[in-house]
Amino acid sequence: MSAVVTGLGLVTPLGRKADEVFDALLAGRSGIVAVPEGHAAHGWLPFAGIAPHIDGTEVLPPTEIRCVDRFVLMALAAADDAIADAGLEVGRDVAPDRIAVVIGTGGGGLETFEQQSHGRVQRGRPAVSPYLLPGMLSNMAAARVAIKYGAQGYSSAPVTACAAGAQAIAEGLRLLRADEADVVVCGGSESSLHPTVAAAFDNARALARGWPDPALASRPFDLKRNGFVLGEGAGVLVLERAEHAAARGATAHAELLGWGGTTDAHHPTMPRPDGAGAAAAMRAALRSAGLAPSDIGYVNAHGTGTKLGDVAESAALNAVFGDHRPAVSSTKGATGHLLGAAGSVEAVISVLAVERGQLPPTVNLLEPDPACALDHVRQPRETRVRAALSNSFAFGGHNLSLIFGEPSTTGRHQQPGEIR
């Protein structure tokens, strides 16, 4: 059963509209900035990928925004855009019990929990809001989207750290292939720019440091990389059975061809040095899609900018693709690492690479590490991409790979500037 992508929604450090974000990536812009005074992470992070502000009243009635965490607001904003892009109306285009919602996160309502905990320490029990739990629980992004749109089918919230957004999309494909839904709203959201999270990553020496210009700090695969940059955001896709999309006259950005998932079973935070688990996920995705390695024209790498992770992923890519060497870039150079939202944001970027025939470069890749010998995209490329692979790897050893291809349905989205 074919599944097509009919809607895209983004909230990222580069902006809130999918095409605008993709254009910024092609232009080599960075969304990494110095953390301003007044931000919760000021003094805890020197720089970060900060997404645009979202007022709760943009996405919810004023009476419902008490203690709604920022990760929920970003998920709602991205879902609103994706559903509008798909031209979808629940009840008219899909039965309420045939639309599913799967939105993952790594940490859930970290901001809400931190604020409420601080209030409890300062003022005791009365300071803790009765709205704390519905504000911070990790399933609340999925729940709020379902409530807003009346989606009464299956819903869930993967919490597989930095693979959560990608796993949500994979789960969406499984639901469609099992005929358990006609439409799935899926993706990930993360708001992690808070003192405790920042301190934990910094004390683990995982974060980039020592860069006077924030825009230079995130540099996947570069010889001078020294850690990742924390970011925040959300990415949501509307997936549909191809037959369902065609029947309602919807157009498709791309087709979700397959997915693969494995577990390293190696270490709580470090990948297998040889990338064996990541390679197995990519091979599983190729089998799921019915493709050979030579069919992949572009890889949006996980590529966070850590010393070990980038080398392990490079080893995995070379093991899977050998002499084929597809074009590879990591868009985290421009956005930072969005943790549980990374996989879904990068899935949207991969969809647009297929749709537009353009490959975004890896920002700040000035001197590729010889240990990361790949066909790096260092300047934008224009080329037909029949299939693109998007990788997401996570603490705990979770590995997810997604493959998107050109849609086989007759309808497709019009490109910017295209005349029909």
Tens digits of residue pLDDT in 349-376:
999 999 999 999 999 999 999 999 999 9
Tokens of residue 18, six digits: 């999918």
Contact 387, 297 (CB under 8 A): yes
What residues are paired with 156 via a beta bridge?
102
| Whole-structure pTM value | 0.94
Q: Residue 115 has what pLDDT? A: 85
CA distance 97 to 240: 14
Q: Residue 112 has what pLDDT? A: 86
CA distance 184 to 102: 7
pLDDT at 116 exceeding the cut of 90? no
Tens digits of residue pLDDT in 59-69:
999 989 888 99
pLDDT at 76 exceeding the cut of 90? yes
Q: Residue 412 has what pLDDT? A: 45
Return phi, psi of residue 166, to 5°: -70, -40
Please identify which of the residues 194, 302, 376, 413 carries the catalytic annotation: 302
Q: Residue 416 has what pLDDT? A: 44
Please identify which of the residues 194, 244, 337, 398 carries the catalytic annotation: 337
Asked about 162 being catalytic, the answer comes back as: yes
Q: Residue 66 has what pLDDT? A: 84
Domain ranges across the chain: 3-405
What is the band of 1 on the pLDDT scale with cuts at 50, 70, 90? confident
CA distance 97 to 99: 6
Nearest to 233 by CA among 331, 318, 300: 331
Tens digits of residue pLDDT in 263-275:
999 999 889 999 9
pLDDT at 102 exceeding the cut of 70? yes
Asked about 337 being catalytic, the answer comes back as: yes
Mean pLDDT across 212-216 = 97
Q: Which residues, at least 6 apart from 118, have a Cβ–Cβ distance to it below 8 Å?
A: none
User: What superfamily does domain 3-405 belong to in CATH?
Assistant: Thiolase/Chalcone synthase (3.40.47.10)
Mean pLDDT across 211-215 = 97
